[in-house]
């Protein structure tokens, strides 16, 4: 008799490929992980699937670095995110903030019902950050669930990366379709990149910074922006800097950090919530480190 998928030593399991009994067999410290992406405009050189492709590609690379048998189950990706800032451009799909929050909560509810205590959201779209924060807090209160919000765009760059390869100005202002996303796509999904349309789209935010303004699309005095507020084509940054070699270095670096986040999530010990609305009890800290 062949072993069940839950008994087979693999780096990870896919939620949708398991049966209900197999899901129930997974160990208590098992980590559930879910990619949060987007389907939205990325100019003429990158496909609508850019954020989703990057998120799934980085997770796949991270899973390859985990030890065989690491207790992890991968949920289906949330392909469509909160992309209201890109709705002026054809092709963008978007959930309203309210629906995005409800969708994340519904997935978290299902994870908790299945007996899991740890959920990692790997996000690859900036518009998802606010809804993630709200949904994660609700799930923590409702279920005592540990929800880790990992954003690859907030991770530090690899040590030794030359400033000429990825200048600080590009990192700050190339928010959408610039060197970072272009490089990762040229490494992870090169067949989808339209090289003949690479361009350098200067952000309004860059011009404001050069004038010494405190206001900007990001930073200490950020204003709510639509993609066309930053550039008429809806993309910003120097895509010419996004080489496949840079993408390879970035993907390997991000994959190692994501794998570390998954390992630390597995090791984190959970306490029951004290005085919660659903009668949970336990230590006042709520969460503590350690295996």
Query: Which residue matches tokens 């994501």?
Result: 258
pTM of the entire structure?
0.90
Q: Tokens representing 267? A: 């090791």
CB 154 within 8 A of CB 128: no
Phi, psi of 74 (to 5 degrees): -100, 120
Strands (E), the chain: 13-14, 31-36, 72-74, 118-123, 146-151, 200-201, 215-216, 221-222, 237-238, 269-270, 287-288
Q: Show pLDDT as tens, one digit a residue, over the chain (291 residues).
A: 444 444 444 447 999 999 999 999 999 899 999 999 999 999 999 999 999 999 999 999 999 999 988 999 999 999 999 999 999 999 999 999 999 999 999 999 999 999 999 999 999 999 999 999 999 999 999 999 999 999 999 999 999 888 778 898 999 999 999 999 999 999 999 999 999 999 999 999 999 999 999 999 999 999 999 999 999 999 999 999 999 999 999 999 999 999 999 999 999 987 766 544 443 333 334 454 444
Domains defined for the chain, CATH in brackets: 8-288 (3.40.50.10310)
């Amino acid at each position: 008799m062949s072993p069940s998928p839950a008994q087979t030593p693999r780096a990870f399991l896919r939620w949708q490929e398991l049966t209900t009994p197999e899901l129930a067999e997974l160990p208590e410290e098992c980590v559930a992980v879910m990619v949060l992406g987007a389907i939205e405009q990325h100019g003429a050189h990158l496909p609508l699937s850019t954020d989703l492709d990057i998120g799934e590609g980085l997770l796949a690379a991270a899973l390859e670095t985990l030890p065989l048998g690491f207790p992890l189950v991968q949920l289906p990706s949330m392909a469509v995110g909160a992309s209201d800032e890109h709705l002026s451009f054809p092709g963008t799909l978007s959930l309203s903030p309210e629906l995005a929050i409800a969708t994340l909560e519904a997935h978290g509810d299902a994870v908790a019902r299945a007996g899991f205590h740890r959920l990692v959201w790997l996000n690859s779209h900036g518009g998802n950050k606010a809804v993630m924060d709200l949904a994660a807090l609700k799930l923590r209160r409702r279920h005592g669930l540990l929800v880790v919000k990992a954003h690859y765009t907030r991770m530090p760059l690899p040590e030794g990366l030359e400033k000429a390869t990825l200048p600080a100005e590009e990192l700050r202002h190339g928010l959408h379709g610039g060197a970072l996303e272009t490089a990762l796509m040229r490494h992870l999904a090169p067949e989808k990149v339209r090289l003949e349309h690479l361009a350098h789209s200067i952000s309004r935010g860059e011009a404001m910074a050069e004038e010494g303004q405190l206001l900007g699309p990001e930073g200490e005095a950020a204003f709510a922006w639509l993609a066309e507020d930053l550039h008429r084509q809806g993309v910003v940054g120097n895509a010419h800097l996004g080489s496949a070699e840079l993408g390879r270095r970035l993907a390997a670096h991000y994959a190692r950090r994501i794998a570390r986040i998954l390992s630390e999530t597995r090791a984190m010990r959970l306490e029951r919530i004290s005085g919660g609305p659903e009668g949970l009890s336990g230590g006042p800290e709520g969460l503590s480190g350690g295996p």
